[in-house]
Structures are given as C-alpha cells and as structure tokens.
Amino acid sequence: MRTVRRGAVLGVLVGVLAALLPATGAAAVTPLKATITCDSRLGWIHTGLTGGAGTFFANLPVNVEFRVLSGSYVTATTWNVPPIGTAVTTAATTAPDGSLSVPGYGRPWRLSADLFYSETVQVTVTSQADGRSLWQGQASCLRDVRTTVTLGCDQATQTITARVDGVDYDKPQPMPRTQGLLVTYKTIITSQATKDDPRFTVISFEPQVTHLLPQPTTSTFSDVGYTRTIPNDPWYYAESLTVEVWEFGVNLRVGAGAATCVLDDKGA
C-alpha cells in the first residue's frame, strides 16, 4: 500500500496557490493580455505581454515564452507561412501588484510585398522555480488588401445577404496547382424578439456556410454566401460575419475579412 505524506501534498498545493494569489493590497484584478502588432508604419512585427495586476504573487520569477503558432502570407510571387514553431523566452519578475510587462519577439515586415498576411503568437508563462505553466494566451494580427466582405441588411424585405469579393486572386504567379478556393462563413447573431424579452447572442465557432469554388482564372472572384429572411419582425437583430478564404488541398488561409450590420433596432 502506497503512503502519501499529507505535509508533502499540502506543500505542493501551497506552492501552486502562492503563484496565483494576488499581491496583498493590490488593485482590482486586470487580465493578462498577449499582444502582436503588425506595424504598417514602421514595417515591423512585435509581440508582448502586458497587464495582470492581482493575477500573480508579487515579485514572482517567471519565464515568458513567445511562440509563432500559425499564420500565412501571399505575395505576387509566392505564398508561405511565417516561421511557425520558433520561440523566444524571456526571464521576468512580476511587479509588486502581480502584473507583467514583457516584450516578446520582433522582426522586420515586408509590408509592401504582402497581399495577405496573418500571424498568431502563443504566449506561455511558467514558474522559474519548477517549470509549472501559470498562464497561456494568444494574439493575432491580420492584413488583407485583396478581400472585401459585405453584409447587407435590407429592412424593407427583412433580409440579410453575405458576400465576399476578391482581387489579385490569380497571385502568386506562377500559380501553384490547388483544388480551388474554400470560402467559409461564420456568424455572431444577437437578437431580441420583443421589447420585454431577453436579448441573446449566439456565437458560431464552426462555419455555417462553406463553398468550394474553382481556382479563379482571372484576378477576381465573387461569392454570395447566403441570403436569408428574418421572420417575425424582431425588436432587435444584429449580425456579425467573418469570412475566410483557403487554398483547398494545401490548407493555407489566403484571405479574410469581416462585416457587421443591424437589421432591426426598435429601441434606438
């Protein structure tokens, strides 16, 4: 029979709690925030971690890892991904209020060359003492100069139409052989049936509509994702749309955009 010493278990628990307890007398807890900025003015990509007052114990030694998690880009002559998997780790110590302010990796960005660029950084905070993971978050940046998403709300007919238009989709040249463009539509819908009813928001994490289009033979393409009629004349109805364009068969995102419209707002 295995015997576990109660003191050893308590010691481990105390160590975990000590890292997560807010500093005594600290201000209200503020969230830690991973950041990534694709700075078009400076032509530079830089990352960081800020905030977190009251999140950790004061003066706690930690390691902060900034890892390129995902992304893709398209130029006139190539498509590829940023250096996925590369990471920079920085030693830091929490402030007296338990917060952190840590710069991550940075590198030049060839802004003028990119028709589309996306990158996601994953930030992980671990204890220097024993390597335990204390926090993890992500941040993304996106630049797209060739994809336009339109979400039209027609109050007269109570219809919503989602559409995406692209230019320069014959790039890169020479065009690699793929199985076409996969266009996905995801929505966030906020609705309220009557003045006295509660308001609900439904977030769709998976695409509601997916279209597979032939690879464009010219530089442009258009796709109507959906047209739908909203019944019963609601008190409030709003929709937000995110569209992504993927090169099907190579699983590379090459376009993205978003749009929002309010169909009904009788309380305005």
Ranges of each domain in the chain: 20-144, 147-265
pLDDT score of 7: 37
Place of tokens 């990158």: 119
- Tell me the three state secondary structure of residue 12: helix
The rounded mean pLDDT for the chain is 89
pLDDT score of 49: 98
12-42 confidence digits (pLDDT tens): 333 444 445 454 444 578 899 999 999 988 8
128 and 68 in contact (C-beta within 8 Å)? no
Question: Which CATH architecture describes the domain 147-265?
Answer: Sandwich (2.60)
Taking the whole predicted model, whether its pTM rises above 0.85 is answered as no
CA distance 147 to 115: 9
φ and ψ at 58, to 5 degrees?
-65, 145
38 and 141 in contact (C-beta within 8 Å)? yes
pLDDT score of 27: 56
Domains 20-144 and 147-265 in one fold: yes
In the CATH hierarchy, which fold is given to the domain comprising 20-144? Immunoglobulin-like (2.60.40)
